[in-house]
Chain A
Amino acid sequence: MTEGLAHLDYIAVVILFAIGLYVVLTKQNLIKKIIGLNIMETAVFGLIVTSGMVDGGSPPLLGQGLEPPYASPIAHALVLTGIVVALSVTALALVLILRVKAECGSIELDELLEPDE
């Protein structure tokens, strides 16, 4: 169990990812699906940032009088890219949902899939 506790951060991230996936799979409301997707994305970013951290480390800024070890700069740069892409995807999805609402009158997936005519 102590071995498991060393990975506590990673376990929290996996639980967060599972919550997001559950929301995406079960919720019929399209907005809630997007929220679930964002929770999953947050979990992935959390995993990458956590892995880039180092005990007693300092931010990877040179020339500021900070002592090594430095946190991994790659993890931060990758997550920055990921956040921007996640934001773009969310914005596009929200606009598409608004369009679906305007065209079909509902954003509940089960109502949308129901053959009403």
Chain B
Amino acid sequence: MRNALALLIVIVLAGLMMAGVSQLPPPGSPDGAVHRHVAAHYIDGGTEAGGAPNLVTAVLLNYRALDTYGEVVVIFAALVAVLAVGLSGHSRGPRRQPDELPVSPVVDRIIRLLAPFIALFALFMILEGHVLPGGGFQGGVVLGALLILLSLVLGPRRIRRMLPTPALFWTRAIAPLVFALTAIAGLALAGWLFALPEPAWLRELILVGLELAIGIGAALALVGFYLSLEADHHD
């Protein structure tokens, strides 16, 4: 009965959305609103106005840098909340922490073999993200996935020991901190938030710095989520 009601609601809603969607310009047509106005302006502005040849990075780190600042704050806040709710040490009974999870030797070998290459690729995506496809979040997620894989093979304790606690404390917050610094530096030097300074090399340096901060922050947030869930699971 309840399911039938839900189905009815979903079908009516889907019908309304179909009607709405069919009025949009068909996907791929160049006269959609997404391609005129602002996007066309960004493409015309080019590297000069955007600060980065990869226009997605230009939108993220220059045109809409304030949005990205909010985004890194969201992921940092989620990490803090996960750590606060998850790992509050409400252990019931003896805590069992299997150090070596049963992983097939094939998986173990392959992950160990591929780890350096995955790390290199993640670094490449972060550092070249302003020129080629990629960027801080993408590279950071690859790095975080690598650390999660390694924690499956090596056991979560080894991964936890990789960064000392005081360093981890500040590195987790690196993305919001670097963004705040860049915003204030732009305000002080050029008069508006996130202004990129004039010499091209300095612009590039700031973009790479922002991407690195985003990448490290995203990787640590992913690992933090995973380790927190993993620790809770073994309680």
B228 proximal to A (CB < 8 A): yes
Cβ contacts under 8 Å, B75 to chain A: 84-85, 87-88
Interface size class on chain A is 35 or more
Within 8 A of A (CB), among B1-36: 2-3, 6-7, 9-11, 13-14, 17-18, 21-22, 24, 26-30, 32, 34-35
A104 proximal to B (CB < 8 A): no
Q: Is the CB of B9 within 8 A of A98?
A: no
Give bound CA distance, A72 to B131, whole Å: 16
Min CB distance B68 to A, Å, is: 7
Q: Is the CB of B67 within 8 A of A54?
A: no
Cβ contacts under 8 Å, B163 to chain A: none
Which of A4, A21, A57, A72 counts the most B-chain CB atoms under 10 A from its CB?
Answer: A72
Min CB distance B88 to A, Å, is: 9
- Choose from A55, A74, A89, A91 the contact partner of B59 (Cβ within 8 Å): A74
A30 proximal to B (CB < 8 A): no
Cβ contacts under 8 Å, B2 to chain A: 26
Q: Is the CB of A7 within 8 A of B53?
A: no
Q: Is the CB of B21 within 8 A of A10?
A: yes
Within 8 A of A (CB), among B70-103: 71, 74-75, 77-79, 81-82, 85-86, 90, 92
B46 proximal to A (CB < 8 A): yes
- Choose from A18, A72, A92, A95 the contact partner of B232 (Cβ within 8 Å): A95
Cβ contacts under 8 Å, B43 to chain A: 60, 68, 70, 73
Q: Is the CB of A95 within 8 A of B60?
A: no
Give bound CA distance, A91 to B11, whole Å: 30
Min CB distance B112 to A, Å, is: 27
Give bound CA distance, A91 to B81, whole Å: 10
B residues at A contact (CB < 8 Å): 2-3, 6-7, 9-11, 13-14, 17-18, 21-22, 24, 26-30, 32, 34-35, 38-39, 42-43, 46-47, 53-56, 58-60, 64, 67-68, 71, 74-75, 77-79, 81-82, 85-86, 90, 92, 131-133, 135, 137, 218, 221-222, 225, 228-229, 232-233, 235
Complex A-B: 23 CB contacts under 8 Å: A7-B21, A9-B27, A13-B21, A14-B14, A17-B14, A22-B7, A51-B27, A52-B39, A54-B29, A60-B56, A61-B54, A61-B132, A62-B46, A69-B30, A69-B35, A72-B35, A77-B56, A77-B64, A80-B135, A81-B71, A87-B75, A92-B78, A94-B225
A residues at B contact (CB < 8 Å): 3-4, 6-7, 9-11, 13-15, 17-18, 21-22, 25-26, 47, 50-55, 57, 59-64, 68-70, 72-77, 80-81, 83-85, 87-89, 91-92, 94-96, 98-99, 102
Sample of 9 further A-B pairs with CB below 8 A, known A54-B28, A81-B71, A85-B75 = A7-B21, A15-B14, A22-B7, A25-B10, A55-B30, A69-B35, A72-B34, A74-B39, A95-B85
